[in-house]
Amino acid sequence: MNLYAVGKIIGFFGVKGYLKILPTTHSPKRLKNLSQVYVGNSAEEVLPFTVEEVLLEREPPLVKLREISDRNSADKFIDRFIFIDETEIVQPKINEHFIHEIIGCEVWSTDGQYVGVIEDVYKLPAQDLWGIRKDEKLQLIPAVKEFIKSVDTKNKKIIVDLIEGLIEE
């Protein structure tokens, strides 16, 4: 079974153990359709859970899992991830990619300069930021079409247009 993270548990709400979720999916609305999820620190170490309710009207979204009945048991799952089976994945739109496809890609400038490797993707309201590491230095580049010229996830290579001031030398 291949599992993919669709959210991170960042807290809990109320006495019934609702979980506050930071979605890592391109479509948080898709959480409404889930009946079975897996929770853990990684895809290799998960426990199965049954989804009782999803409240998208709140920010952050709330998820109620049948097996978590109170705030004490919910507290134990903070900072863990919610995974789904690959059969439940909703494919991204054209020119969009899964986070797991982006992480690990080498980043090169349009003039052939090695920028680094993407080690994390930060989801922000305006746009995603890609955390790119070269040696000990972490650079953040907005994942917007003005800077990102091509993404080849099969070959793990991304080309960016490095305008002046975008990264520190």
Distance CA 140, CA 12 (A): 30
Q: Does the global pTM surpass 0.85?
A: no
Residue with tokens 């998208």: 56
Query: Would the pLDDT of 134 be above 80?
Result: yes
Cα angle 108, 110, 113; round to 5: 45
Query: Would the pLDDT of 1 be above 90?
Result: no
Query: What are the domain boundaries of the chain?
Result: 3-88, 99-160
- How far is the CA of 74 from the CAs of 21, 22, 54, 90, 161, in angstroms? 12, 15, 15, 27, 44
Contact 25, 34 (CB under 8 A): no
CATH class of 3-88: mainly beta
Alpha carbon 34 to chain centroid, angstroms: 17
Tokens of 76: 């134990």
Which fold does the domain 99-160 belong to in CATH? SH3 type barrels. (2.30.30)
| Digit-coded pLDDT (tens) for 24-62 | 876 778 788 889 999 999 888 999 999 999 998 888 999
